[in-house]
Chains A and B, each alone.
Chain A
Amino acid sequence: MNCKELSYMLADYFDGSMDPQLQQELDGHLAHCEQCLVFTKTYQAVSDKARRLRQQIEYEIPPDVRDRLETFVRAAALKYPEKLDEYREQVERERREMVAGLVKAAVAGKLSPVTALLLETHWNACPECKEYFDGLLKAPDHGSGDPPDLIHSHVIRLMQSLPPGEEFFLA
């Protein structure tokens, strides 16, 4: 193992997921290479320091921000019982819109690469979804947008596995 190879493996080294034999090689290199020893120590110091910083500043919300936030959350929670139905409908509507959007984008061939890959992978495991989307692709005008419950729930799960902030369609 040389210095360059060692530097590639440091993340594994510190989270303990390293192959034992490689780790032995790495330790062997560290024992005689001053530069790598320093490199490794300073690499680790970055995460240590970041973590300790976080612990030091934990819960250090400015008092006025804390007050406003608490008031806001309490007011929202107080209205919860009377708003429950409205919230359910909202969530339901948002989900339907999301699913309709995804179906539309899929039919138009405008899915983001990640979403397209996820969807194709899902089709391999789910004949129902495959059949539904195949049908739409052949005849795009027929009943797109509001798929049956099973398809709907699969599409929702698929969207929930997208990274946060990632759009499912191409810009």
Chain B
Amino acid sequence: MSAERWKEDEALLESLRKGSPGAVDELLRQYQGKIFNLAMSILKNESDAEEAAQDVFMTVIRKADTFQGNSAFYSWMYRICVNTCLMRLRGKRRNETVSLEEFMPVFTDEGMHASPMDDWSKEVERNALNEELGRMIRMYTEELSEKYRVVFVLSDVEGLSNEETAKILGLTVPAVKSRLHRARLYLREQLSRYLREGKAG
């Protein structure tokens, strides 16, 4: 996180506390999209994401005064958002989640790849496939259990560093890496199967 962004966040928090009229505009401009998108990535449902976003902003306003500033403001907001979304998910029927093991790469006893490998990495650049692949990634991400999904969303989708993700989730960096790695392996395998079947059909 750049020092500039950090300073901006400090200033924003300060003006929120003072009740400056511009503070809310700034808060919305900077975070409305991010929070809504993050909530959508976790909850996968527009009206849930909307309610969660309201809760997040309400919590931020309520706690602006007592926020202790031992983490960066954006990281605090993301944490509130993840927390709010997970609480919401808990109230619902637990998602049927797939077993990741079934989608991990398979190796021979000699440690070589046991299954054939298609290179579709260039195909993801093709515009024709763009929308479809996007839908597939979202669908498969949704199948991941929370613990993998949240890490994948923060690190790969939101583009945060492993250190930032670890801080927001209260995990160690190695734990973040290991979850991220497994989530990617799972998605890689699912996309491979999907594209292979697509070709065959």
Contacts and interface: CB of A to CB of B under 8 A. Distances in A.
Interface in B34-92: 36-37, 46, 50, 53-54, 57-58, 61-66, 70, 79, 82-83, 86-87, 90
Given A43-B185, A48-B124, A164-B79, A61 B36 contact: yes
Given A11-B177, A11-B181, A41 B119 contact: yes
A142 interface: no
A51 B159 contact: yes
A58 to B, nearest CB: 6
A115 B28 CA distance: 35
B62 to A, nearest CB: 5
A119 interface: no
Interface string B108-125: 001111000111110010
Given A4-B111, A45-B121, A164-B79, A66 B184 contact: no
Interface string A34-66: 111011011111111111011011111110011
A55 to B, nearest CB: 8
Contact of A49 (B36, B57, B70, B137): B137
A74 B177 contact: no
A121 to B, nearest CB: 13
Interface stretch (A76-84, A104-112, A129-137): A76-84
Contact of B32 (A15, A61, A81): A61
User: Which of B58, B66, B121, B180 has most chain A Cβ within 10 Å?
Assistant: B121
Contacts of B100: none
> Chain A contact residues (Cβ within 8 angstroms of B): what range?
35 or more
A73 B157 contact: no
A5 B111 CA distance: 8
B158 interface: yes
Contacts of B57: 69, 72-73, 76
B137 A69 contact: no
A31 B113 CA distance: 16
B170 A12 contact: no
B63 A36 contact: no
Interface stretch (A19-27, A85-93, A144-152): A85-93
Contacts of B201: none
Nearest to A159: B170
A165 B28 contact: no
A66 B37 CA distance: 12
Contacts of A80: 16, 19, 61, 64
